[in-house]
Structure 1
């Protein structure tokens, strides 16, 4: 860009930042101030505006494009679930430590919440409320655990139910601790979803729960979907894996939310 050109108005700067990010992926604040010949604070305001619109995500010292969740085929979801399974299992194993005897807990849709099921057997007088059909199937062998399924419209891609009927069922139960899943979350927009029907269920869960834990692995952080569910500070805790940056962990704790970090097991080299 010609540095002697007439100063850009905010909308032009926003378009220029997005154009550059499409090319570079990540940009530093310094590079943007030099490129557009504006102050550090001007760039910061532009980034905040773009972040509020869901276009970008702030990173330490710079900015990057937000990853948006789009429609995914059933096969694609299954492949992704298998690829991130070690993270999901580690998070679920840690989250299960916060399930106590005599509790009423909610397990959301998603394979991370489903992964809690094998750890629930030893609990006494436990009630599990869920919209996840895979959770229900997994609990059939634990006959001492009371299971309540929410009903509602069926989503075959997630193996769960959603919408108004499911939300109303959840509102009728006093939940001690809920475990929410998400495909997308970041600091500025919090937990988001691509489906309003899923948002209804999650909002009902937040309303019905004494405490709410988000189960979300590090690969999903910095992504955003169309609809807002909850700000980070509306949660009581986040359970994630050790590859979520320390800076992000501290940012979450600064908002009064506990962060529990699951260690990932190291792979054993083949032949050893």
Structure 2
């Protein structure tokens, strides 16, 4: 299939007419491009990865994809056990793990997320360490060199990393330079790393590279991720869990999740 111009969205019908081939050939070629991280499926067609110029605010993220985030957290919960030291990256997807953490004993949570700290305040079973650093007002978290320096002095059993943009070819990216050093320091200090991100963020990229997807031991996302993209992630040697959330207004009822370690294919 000839290359697509950046940000162009073409339907299967358009591609069939342009290329003079069958619908089946077009869909097969789209799957190949998607598995290679060169294009991404949209309903009825295909597009290139989309640039993200700025991070959504905390208020925006907190009110979207609640069922998906809760389902992802339910899968990630299986990775937790008592007496762990974990890092929770700033984000509403990682924040959905807080109830499971509060239910454990002997937990130590390191985070740069002010909201997570507030939600864990008063829990007698959780020791909390805030990284400090420069305040990102819109995301209610801290970023920059000082936060990274704190993380470089700490070792964790498990780091849960969040992102607002990820794809196969570029990995995890961000439009905010001050977040890069923090994420890298958290990954360097972790025995195991897990990316938690909804599938709607897949196929988008920010200006600054963080790490390729193969840097993670496991990725947990929702099962709306396209099958070809899921296969591409598995080709990297990364464990992939797809969480299923019923489309309900409530983030909790109706959730059915694939537990960590199970095979989850379309």
> TM-score, length-normalised on structure 2?
0.79
- Counterpart Cα distance in 1 of 2:82 and 2:49: 40
Equivalent of 1:149, from 118, 123, 130?
130
Tell which structure's C-alpha radius of gyration is larger: 1
Per the alignment, in what secondary structure is the counterpart of residue 83 of structure 1?
A: coil
1:64 corresponds in structure 2 to: 47
Aligned counterparts of 1:100 and 1:142: Cα–Cα separation in 2: 16
Corresponding residue number in structure 1 for 2:246: 265
Query: 2:10 pairs with 20, 24, 48, which one?
Result: 24
Check if 1:225 corresponds to 2:206. yes
SS at match of 1:18: coil
- Select the structure that is richer in helix: 1
Match for residue 116 of structure 2?
135
**Any conservation in 1 of the 2:40–2:49 contact (CA below 8 Å)?**
no
The alpha carbon displacement at 1:85 in A equals 1.4
The CA RMSD over aligned residues, in Å, is: 3.0
Deviation at 1:136, TM superposition (A): 0.5
Summarize the Cα distance change of 1:72–1:204 in structure 2 as closer, same or farther, 3 Å threshold.
closer
Aligned residues: 237
Q: Could you say what secondary structure the match of 2:219 adopts?
A: strand
Give the C-alpha shift of residue 238 in structure 1: 0.5
Give the secondary-structure state (helix, strand or coil) at the position aligned to 2:39. strand
Rate the CA distance shift 1:27–1:172 in 2: closer, same or farther, 3 A. Answer: farther
Deviates more, 1:89-98 or 1:65-74: 65-74
Shift of 1:222: 0.5
Question: 2:52 and 2:111 mapped to 1: Cα distance?
Answer: 24
In structure 1, the residue matched to 2:173 is 192
Question: Which stretch of structure 1 is more off in the superposition, 203-212 or 80-89?
Answer: 80-89
Aligned-residue offset at 1:171? 0.9
Cα distance, 1:265 vs. partner?
Answer: 2.4
CA distance in structure 2 between the aligned counterparts of 1:27 and 1:223, rounded to whole angstroms:
24
Higher relative CO (Cα under 8 Å, sequence separation at least 6) belongs to 2
SS of the residue 1:240 aligns to: strand
Structure 1, unmatched stretches of 5+, are 1-12, 36-42
Aligned mates of 1:31, 1:132 — CA distance in 2: 50
Q: Tell me how far apart the structure 2 counterparts of residues 63 and 187 of structure 1 sit (CA, whole Å).
A: 15
Assess if the C-alpha contact under 8 Å between 1:26 and 1:64 holds in 2: no
